[in-house]
Amino acid sequence: MKAAILVESLTGNTWKAGELIAANLQQEGWSITGLSPVKQPDHSSIQEADTVIVGTWVHGLFVVGQAPWAVDRLRALPSMAGKQAVSFCTFALNPGKSLDVMAQALESCGAQVLGGLALHRGKLAAHAEEFAARLIDNTAAK
């Protein structure tokens, strides 16, 4: 399988999560066609990939108003018709409904959304490993 990874990161946590996910997938024989920022997506890596992984961070006021950062950028991604997509978000306190909002944004780009996972910023390594394992299981079942 081939995956393109698109990340929106402010402090570097979400970018690190993307790198950890890429490393976990590569250990299982996946190819990573590219790791790029959401605001400057690598169109060729998206086109080459079977699966597009999109990650962003969650903003909000403590435990209310959580939302994925830059959801408008997600909606503006290039067409992903015929592609599978999965999302992840990094959070400190509560991700709220961020994954649902991200799924809707990716579906609006034509992707078949397989799901997503919220990754706590204090547990990035473990959660990135879990994300990769779930993705591998989901795509093997298809």
Block means of pLDDT (10 residues each) for the chain, 142 residues, are 97 97 98 97 97 96 79 95 97 92 97 97 97 93 64
Check residue 102 and give its pLDDT. Answer: 97
- Distance separating alpha carbons of residues 14 and 12, to the nearest angstrom: 6
Check residue 140 and give its pLDDT. Answer: 80
> Helix crossing, 124-140 with 13-27: angle to 10°?
50
Check residue 66 and give its pLDDT. Answer: 86
Superfamily of domain 2-140: Flavodoxin domain (3.40.50.360)
Letter string b/e over residues 77-108, b meaning 16 or more CB atoms within 10 A of that residue's CB: beebeebbbbbbbbbeeebbebbebbbebbee
Check residue 65 and give its pLDDT. Answer: 77
- Distance separating alpha carbons of residues 2 and 33, to the nearest angstrom: 6
Task: Indicate the pairing of strand 64-68 with strand 51-61.
Answer: antiparallel
